[in-house]
Amino acid sequence: MRSYQGFQVMTFNMMILIGWSLLFTGLVQAEDRRNHPNVLLIAVDDLNDWIGCMKGHPQARTPHMDKLAARGVLFTNAYCAAPVCLASRTAIFCGRYPDQTGVFSNWGKTRGKMPAKSLQMPLHFSATGYETLGAGKLYHAASPQFFDDYFDTEQRWSPFTQEQAQYTEAELPSKGSDSPEHLVVDGPGGKDWILPLNGLPSERNADGKEGESFDWGAVDVADVEMGDTRITNWAMEKLGGQRTKPFFLGVGYYRPHIPLFAPQQDFDVLPPVEAIQLPLCIPDDLDDLGEAGRRFALDPITAGTHQLVTDHAQWKQAVRAYLACIGYVDRQIGRLITKLDDSEHAGNTWIILFSDHGWQLGEKQHWGKWTGWRTSSRMPLIIVPPANLQLPRGKVCAEPVSLMDLYPTLIEVCGLAEKKEVAGRSLMPLLKNPEQDNGRAVVTAFDPGNHALSTREWRYLRYENGEEELYHVHADPHEWHNLVNVAQHRSILTEMRHRLESELLDIREQ
């Protein structure tokens, strides 16, 4: 009997010990999760300031992004490291400027090469014990090697596939003509389609089989046929499950990158074509630019030419399609955030929403990105802290910041080890006090030797050939009036020259 009683006492003590052990483990895990919160990183491709909360276009419909801004801090003066996909995303995810890596563009010698794996943001999270998940366009190309779990799907031509978008040999002669016609048999929705939807001739690849990406129009298909919808579905599945470790989940949306295809429903909620408002432009906007500035304005390398659009009376159609694509992506973001809010992760997850750069739709007669002007290099940045943190909500920060600041910010808020090689500065002080003005200036590079400097009040562009531009942001937000030769602004010009040199010296010495 005593032996049995002893066994009972021992068992009881073991149960207490196990109970205390489980409680301690749970407390440790809870503390660990507080120190290492989750991250939902949302990247939108080629999105300029045409969202409701930034008032960039009066007909934009982005209720879900606007609600996100109301939950955190909206940075209205955020700039990319470089206004082109590969260069911007490389800088963001490795924490190094183009002038440090040599990655300035998507092509040629200035494409550079991927920096060392030791610098990559997802791998730094993984080394800290995070589960890293990715979907869609985060890096410029699919990069599953940087994530524990990664999902990719056809996005560029969605809802068409890349193969469906290719011209046949028989169709090629029509591609560069005024009547291009490529037949897609049994395409999206089980229907036959004629591409390009806008009927414009090719300016860039007239002799190649590749589909013409400078295209736009409505596609009457179910959402699930769109690539951005499929990555949303995948990410929602991940948010719906239990996770044993803190997670870093990146979701990269392709729209509103060209071709500007969106579901019919996202066109239907917009005004008709004739009522679409065009971006504000002036006819002589290029008259005060030098040769280099005009070359960047008129080069169709990232999209097409303004003359092609206006000659075919397609400007309003293109603007409407861009707005439709933004509305479509906003709906996907709404689904994603709703899933997060309904999950067990809602209270301990940072939400970061940004675009890799802006996009011009006829401003300065330019279509695309890859210029130093504000419309191309500025984009939305919204940061929403976890619900369990007492930080300002629904605030606007006008301080100049850079997408280079995302990496050091995440290092701080997620308790990651410091990386001295990572450039930029943490945005945590601005998240605590969004209204502060610290007099900062941030650098954007658009090809080697071409740089823009942005402060609260001024923007300064210097080209490789020495040409300069100076704009007063508050008085001239559209950068219509180059003040570089105006005597009364000579002291500001001198100051901006010195500041750019100082910033570039700091970057190159880091």
- The span from the CA of 44 to the CA of 78, in Å, is 14
CATH code of 37-156+221-434, in short, is 3.40.720.10
pLDDT at 337: 98
- The span from the CA of 228 to the CA of 230, in Å, is 5
Residues 6+ apart with CB under 8 A from 434: 73, 392, 395, 396, 397, 399
Residue 460 bridge partners (DSSP): 453, 470
Q: Which is nearest to 197 in space by CA: 183, 177, 208, 176? A: 183
Q: At what angle do helices 315-341 and 227-240 cross, to 10 degrees?
A: 10
**Threshold 0.85, pTM exceeds:** yes
Q: pLDDT (tens digit, 0 to 9) for every residue of the chain, 510 residues total?
A: 445 555 455 555 555 555 554 444 443 344 455 679 999 999 999 999 999 999 999 999 999 999 999 999 999 999 999 999 999 999 999 999 999 999 998 887 788 888 889 999 999 999 999 999 999 999 998 899 999 999 999 999 999 999 999 999 999 999 989 999 999 999 999 999 999 999 999 998 888 999 999 999 999 999 999 999 999 999 999 999 889 999 999 999 999 999 999 999 999 999 999 999 999 999 999 999 999 999 999 988 889 999 999 999 999 999 999 999 999 999 999 999 999 999 999 999 999 999 999 999 999 999 999 999 999 999 999 999 999 999 999 999 999 999 999 999 999 999 999 999 999 999 999 999 999 999 999 999 999 999 999 999 999 999 999 999 999 999 999 999 999 999 999 999 999 999 999 999 999 988
Residues 6+ apart with CB under 8 A from 508: 99, 100
- AA letter at 466: G
Give one DSSP letter per residue of 393-437, joined into a string. Answer: -SEEE-S-EEGGGHHHHHHHHTTPPP-TT--S--SHHHHH-TT--
- The span from the CA of 71 to the CA of 402, in Å, is 21
Distance of alpha carbon 116 from its chain centroid, rounded? 22
pLDDT at 7: 46
Considering only the C-alpha atoms of the chain, give the largest distance between any 2 of them, rounded to a whole number of Å: 104
Q: Which is nearest to 302 in space by CA: 169, 164, 447? A: 447
| Contact of 172 with 207, CB cutoff 8 Å | yes
3-state helix, strand, coil in the chain (%, to 5): 40, 15, 45
pLDDT at 27: 37
Q: What is the pLDDT of residues 311-359, one digit of tens each?
A: 999 999 999 999 999 999 999 999 999 999 999 999 999 999 999 999 9
pLDDT at 65: 98
pLDDT at 334: 98
Sign of the CA dihedral running 275, 375, 92, 86: positive
Dihedral of CA atoms 220, 225, 229, 233 in degrees, nearest 10, equals 140
Local structure of residue 49 (DSSP, 8 states): S
Domain ranges of the chain: 37-156+221-434, 160-212
pLDDT at 115: 87
pLDDT at 12: 54
